[in-house]
Amino acid sequence: MGRKRSAPAPVMLTAPRAARLYKLLALLGDGPYPRRVLLSRLKIDVRGFYRDLEVLREVGIAIALRSDNKYALPLSLEDSLGRLPFPDPGLSVRDVLQLCNGSTGAHRKLRGRVSALLGAAPNRGR
């Protein structure tokens, strides 16, 4: 019998790291850059840079190193941002329930997450 694999734990980001990853993706959305430029613009060291690249890989954004030693964004910026987790915004349950109202895909996704967490679908009419 095969063992069931558990789903990988979701990547949790601190607000400063999420902001830095957003800035990195936005920079690369404008075009490829050499590592030294990215380090300077992000104000991080090489070790931090490679840690950030690993986090991006974990969420499905593999930054490419081209043959000219420039890093590039293989996905569109919009697709990349869609994969980047948002840090805990510090909202109350009431705040999140209010954010569930609406008819967009983002609203439906949030309602599904809240339903899974709380065990019941949030009321849309409140």
pTM: 0.74
Domain presence at residue 9: no
Structure tokens at 126: 């409140």
Which pLDDT value is given to residue 122?
60
24 and 78 together in one domain: yes
Whichever domain contains 67, its CATH number is 1.10.10.10
Q: Tell me the pLDDT tens digit for each residue of 38-66.
A: 999 999 999 999 999 999 999 999 999 99
In a domain, 122, yes or no: yes
Decide if 121 is inside a domain. yes
Total number of domains in the chain: 2
Convert 57-71 to b/e letters by CB count within 10 Å (16 or more is b): eebebebeeeeeebb
Q: What is the pLDDT of residues 68-78, one digit of tens each?
A: 999 999 999 99
Task: Count Cα neighbours of 43 within 13 Å in the Cβ-side half-sphere.
Answer: 5
In a shared domain, residues 42 and 75: yes
Q: Which residues constitute the domain of residue 110? A: 89-126
